[in-house]
Amino acid sequence: MKMKKILALVLAAVMALALVACGGGNNAGNPGATPGNNTQKDDNANAGEPSPDAGGSTAGETISLTLWGAEEDQSLLVDLVEKFKAAYPDQTFDIKVGVESESTAKDTILTDIEAAADVFAFANDQIDDLIAAGALLPITGDMDAVLQNYAGKTIADIQSANSAATVATATRNDTLYAFPMGGGNNYFLYYDSTRVSAEQAQSWDTLLEAAQAAGSKVGMTLNSGWYNASFFLGAGFTTALNADGSTSVDWNGTSASGVTGVQVVQAMQNIAGHPGFLAIADGDISNQIASGNVCAVISGTWDADPAQTAFGEGYAATKLPTFTCNGQQVQQGCFSGSKLMGVNAYAENAGWAVLLAEFLTNEESQVARFNARQLAPANVNAAADPSVEANIAIAASAMQDAYGVVQSVGGKYWDPAKSFGEQIAQGAIASDDASIQTALDELVAGITAPAN
């Protein structure tokens, strides 16, 4: 009797909750709709819509969209959203703006794709993971018609309006997956010109000596696959993302320029072992700049303000230095970086989301963003503006972009590369050829492991 009643109560309550869930699945118009009953969602989307008419058929219905942007962009985005609404006065919009850091957008989105915002800003290093998870809506096919009808542009227009480098970072298999929003997301060298001259900043050897003479250090993050690849990329090594999600690298062999991986590692060890070098933990660069421990540092445009504050009058930036490898000077390469605005493939109002994303990344918006937070515009016209070119950090970034390589690595790349960089930073690899070759072989085996 007793147990029965316990079970009956549990049962009744559970059923009540389940019925609520069934009822809850009918929220077709909600961006955060429950995914439980897809049939109903489908039916509601079809039934009750006005008869098809290319354009104007959605008037009278509130279009709800959610947008995620970086912390620094919040006030700007609110303004731009108002302008967007004014640009399409026939429609009623309900647009919510939320905060999501551009460097961690992928994590939040992949935890729950359907609950993520319809339009979001992200840094291009996350694009491969987002595409693999089906989180990005390809800007192709029908979207061309949508853009033409409402924004008066074609996809080709957008691709030519923005720099080739940023468009390349947003394109996979000849399909555009996101709108270029900002360039200059690569890294270059900041230095204090009162302690390091422009000449000395050209090559690692002179740079390190100058720093040591000035009683300070040169800082770089080694324990991140994003930064330490620069030595290998500069020497002509490559990475490739395969269709099954695994990565191919050739770093333990010989590159196209005839340099061996062992030689590159030895160059890195020479740099890391120099008393004028400071290996900075990933993410700690801003702190180190701000605390005055370095007179030169490798970072990106996001650290322009701290660098300017720290170096004061001597604030200067230029492309990455060259390093000595096999007796020659090899230019340090980098991964091309950009900031992109993508549309969630699971967005309800996909068409309007695309239009919003396009609006937030068109020329005027990019200029506004540059004025607000000095984000280098991806738009070619905007980038040609004198005030943009006068920005030291952006100019250095553009200089380094000439040596940039589009990042195409799979998920298994990051951890082995991170460990490898840490090994070099801590001096954990002996400097003889055999040990280095073993370490490189381990690195490559880890990177090329099958993707789960």
Nearer to other proteins, 299 or 379 (CB): 299
| Coil vs helix vs strand at 76 | helix
- Rounded to 5 degrees, φ, ψ at 102 are -65, -25
Those residues with Cβ within 8 angstroms of residue 312's Cβ, 6 or more apart along the chain or in another chain: none
Q: Which helix (H) or strand (E) holds 270?
A: helix 261-273
CA distances (Å), origin 39, targets 24, 26, 275: 13, 9, 66
Distance CA 209, CA 274 (A): 9
Beta strands in 309-403 (DSSP E): 315-318, 322-325, 328-331, 334-335, 339-343
Q: Determine contact, residues 418/384, Cβ cutoff 8 Å.
A: no
Among 318, 413, 410, smallest CA distance to 129 is for: 410
Q: How far is the CB of 318 from other proteins (least distance, A)?
A: 23
Where on the phi/psi map is residue 66: left (φ > 0), alpha (ψ -120 to 50), or beta? Answer: beta
Q: How far is the CB of 111 from other proteins (least distance, A)?
A: 7
Structure tokens belonging to residue 15: 């059923």
Length of the chain: 452
Q: Determine contact, residues 427/272, Cβ cutoff 8 Å.
A: yes
Nearer to other proteins, 236 or 245 (CB): 245
- Rounded to 5 degrees, φ, ψ at 396 are -65, -40
Nearer to other proteins, 86 or 452 (CB): 452
Nearer to other proteins, 106 or 319 (CB): 106
Distance CA 206, CA 442 (A): 32
Distance CA 433, CA 81 (A): 58
| Angle at the Cα of 72 from the Cα atoms of 68 and 293, rounded to 5 degrees | 130
